[in-house]
Structure formats: C-alpha cells, structure tokens
Amino acid sequence: MYKAIVVDDEKWIVEGIKAGVEWNRFGFEVVGSAENGQEALKLIESLHPDVVLTDIKMPLMNGLELIKTGREASPNTLFVVLSAHAEFAYAQKALNYGTFGYCLKPFEIEEIHSMLNRLSAALSERKQSSSTESKSAPDLYETLCANETEAVKRIIRQHGMDVNENNKIRPIVIQSKKLPALTGQIKHLRFQMSPRRLGCLVYENEAEVFIQHLLSHSNTSLYSIGVGDALSDLTELSSSLEAASLASYGMFTTGKSGVFYAPPHTNPLTEEMLKNLSQSLTEKDRVQFNACMNTARTHFRNGRFNIKDAYLIFTALMTLFYREGGSSSARVFEGYEQLSYHYGDAEAMIDYLTEHTLSYLEEPPALVSEVSHKTIKKTLEYIHDNFTNEISIQTLSEKFYLSPNYLCHLFKKEVGDNFIEYISRLRIQYACKLLTETDLPIKQIGEKCGIHDYFYFTRIFKRIMNQTPTQYRESTSK
C-alpha cells in the first residue's frame, strides 16, 4: 500500500477526505494528518510518505513552504495541492516547486479519485523503472535524488573516477526510445534515470570525444543529448545533472534531434508568457491567446524555451482553464517525461492547447458563421485567429489551395470587403479594445495589432475611426 498524508487547517476537510475517499481502491492508506505545515513536515520526515495532499493557506508554515522543505526531507514524495485559492501566482509557485497536481475547492470526491488513480499509475511506473537501473552505478541516481553528497562522492570514487580542479566532470543525459549500448573506450560512469533516459559522468576533456563517438556509432535521428556544466565540486552535481536533463528534451522542444547544452536557470520570457496567457484567458481574449501560442511556438523552435517552460505553460494553462470553468477534464502530467511521451514534441502540445482553449474563448463575429462558402469561412476563421501576424493573400492562397486572384474574387463576393481592408478593420477594432482596456503605449498597441510602423498605424486608425488613437483613448476615458 502507498502511504498518504492529508494536510489542511480545517479539520472537517481532513476528516471528510479521510472518510469519503476510497483510498484502498487505489492502493493507498492514510498514515497521518496535520492541521499546519510544521506538523506535516515532522510527519514527512518520520514517515516518508509516497503522497502528501496539502492546502496552501495554513498557519505556522504554508503549503508552498511545506512542499519546498518537504521535498528536501523526502525527495521521492509526491505533492498534490488542495486549495480554494486558485490565484495564478499560487498555481505557478506550486508548479515550480514540483507538485504532481492541483485540485481546487470545493472539489468532488470523484476528482480526488481521479487524482489518486494518476498517482497510483505514476508510483507504479516509478517502481518499475527503478528496478531496471543500470548495473554500472545502481545507487548513484537514487543517491543524487536524495541529495546525499557524501554518499555520491563515495560511489564515484568506488567506480574509479577522481574529481578535482584538474579532473572536472561533465554530466551528459541521453534520451531515446531505445537507449544505446555504450562501449568502454572512453572512461565514464553511467546510470539509468528512467527507461528512456541514461545519465553519464564523463571527464570534461573527453566529453566532446564521448559525444562524437556516441553519434558516430548510433542512429543520430533517435537521440536527444543534454550536456550539463563541467564541475569539480560534487555538491554542484545534482543541479548540473538537472540542467543536462532539461537540455536532453531538446528534441521535444525544437522538433530536431541533436546535442543540447544546459539552459539558463531563469528565463524572463517564460514569466512574460505565463502572465500574458493568464490575462488572455481571464479576459477571454482569443486574439491575445493566439498571439501567445504563436510566440511560444517560435521560442520552442529557436531553442529559447526548454521542457521546463513547456511543462509550466501546459500545466498552468490547464489550471487556469479549469479554474475558469472551461473544462472538467483538464490534464495534468507528473513531470517532463510524461509530457514529452504524450505529445512527442512542443508543436503537438501547442496544437492541443490551442484547439482545447479556442472553443472556450470568444467566438469570431457573426459574419464568419453567416458566410456560406466553406473555403472562405475557413479563411475568415484563420484570419480572425491570426490577424496580429503578417498575413498575405499569397500565403492564404497556398494554405487553402486557391489561386490568389480567385481567392480575392471569392473573398470580395462573400464578405463585401477586399482582403486588405477587412484585416485593417480587424486590427483597428482590436486596437480600440486595447486603447480602452489597457494603459499600453500607442506604439506597442500598434505592434500587438500586427502593425509595426507607428505612423502607418496612426494613419490607418484615423482613416477608419475619424480620430487619432490618442483622441480615441481620451474620448473613451471620459
């Protein structure tokens, strides 16, 4: 049986969950409960439970602090947040601390049953993968995860690797459906991280040769190789290995196989993306949402986003979507590997997020539904979702398999406006919305609408609205 602890400062909630949930049905038993974070931490330290279900807002130590310190005390414990406080900041922090899932109060027992079912599957999968660990250093990865530095040093010494300022090591993580059989030509220490990931420690001066040897003796189209920072201090090994592990998902994020180096620890682009996604969903703004998704797609292709960014974007959006009542079947994955395995690459993930969310956001104007010609109807839907990007009649004709001249003719006949005028009106309508609802500078509003020339934007705006953007903002503010 898997061990579970329930933590909430409202005792009736704890008792209700303990009594109302069919724990045994999913292979769990509740071995303890607590009414604040400090009590819960003591239980975690003594019982090392498989799962902790915790509220966020509690006295003495809140849930976020409990997750952070609890993971240090018991690295293998999975955390699930139970909270009525669904503000985005809480969700984002909880995800950053590595929570398994996020359930919002008031919740149904079926929702917790669904969560326990996923937890049971994840714990079972973890148990199976741990039984297939490499014989090269069977205890190393487990010891690294437990943050036992002295034991890590001992294991590495026992396997004949001397680490110091003159002999730095570099962690390398290989990810593939079928992991390679490495030869012993280059001195290295390897350990299984999961059925699809193999970790290696290689001396820095031999790392490039090791990688080239791997690439030359393998089907390179199958591999995604992550390389961490070189180090002489083994207390830094855990963080460097984590960075290499993130980098090893490069094939997922970019859609290409190859060698990927450790990403920066913080990414301001992610913060901006999460903020814009939250705003677009709160305001049900499909234009802003589409712009966010297109920007994310570009960042993944160019390597500016990694698997951690993908996980944050996916799980945060699902949480926001669920919070806003958009779906009762919002998915949550335990970690990077599940997300990568399920979608294959970031493009497929973004396609899913876009399709899943657009139906919930504001529908395009009635004109789209009134158009009878199927191709023009699809063209209009595409324009309404992408008018903030550069769109030409040439790209539309290629997308919908019509000649440019015929598409222009059909568009004018069905819509009543020519193509350029229609897009200009859409952009100015959206500009009016931003001028009314935000304090953004006019130049930035023009760029958000897809017009990057400030003077051209003001000229088009005045032609359509009979006043400048500044005059419009002043008149609406009154």
Fold of 140-261: Alpha-Beta Plaits (3.30.70)
Long-range contact set of residues 258-262: C-beta below 8 Å, sequence gap at least 24: 258/220, 258/224, 258/225, 259/211, 259/215, 259/225, 259/227, 260/224, 260/225, 260/226, 260/227, 260/303, 261/226, 261/227, 262/226, 262/227, 262/228, 262/229
What residues form DSSP beta bridges with 53? 6, 80
Fold identical between 2-130 and 140-261?
A: no
Q: What is the pLDDT of residue 130?
A: 46
**First CA to last CA across the chain, in angstroms?**
65
Cα(45)–Cα(24) distance, rounded to whole angstroms? 24
Token pair belonging to 119: 């937890």
Place of tokens 């061990």: 3
Contact 476, 468 (CB under 8 A): no
For the chain, the structural domain boundaries read 2-130, 140-261, 268-358
Long-range contact set of residues 181-186: C-beta below 8 Å, sequence gap at least 24: 182/214, 183/213, 183/217, 185/213, 186/210, 186/213
Contact 382, 399 (CB under 8 A): yes
Q: What is the pLDDT of residue 134?
A: 35
Residue 185: exposure state from Cβ atoms within 10 A (0-12, 13-18, ≥19): exposed
Bin 170: left if φ > 0, else alpha if -120 < ψ < 50, else beta.
Answer: beta
Cα(410)–Cα(177) distance, rounded to whole angstroms? 48
- CA-based angle 246:335:325, to the nearest 5? 125
Q: Residue 77 has what DSSP assignment?
A: -
Q: Over the chain (478 residues), what is each successive 10-residue block's mean pLDDT? A: 88 84 89 89 89 85 84 81 63 61 72 85 66 52 78 83 87 80 72 83 89 72 84 87 89 88 76 85 81 90 88 81 56 74 88 79 60 82 83 86 87 84 88 87 89 89 90 83
Token pair belonging to 257: 């196989």
Give the H or E element holding residue 130.
Answer: helix 109-130
**Which strands make up the sheet holding 169-175, listed edge to edge?**
188-194, 197-203, 169-175, 224-227, 258-261
| Residue type for position 115 | M
For residue 158, how many other CB atoms are within 10 A of its CB? 12
Rounded to 10°, the helix 346-358/286-301 angle is 180
Decide if domain 2-130 falls under CATH 3.40.50.2300. Answer: yes
| Residue type for position 98 | G
Contact 64, 41 (CB under 8 A): no
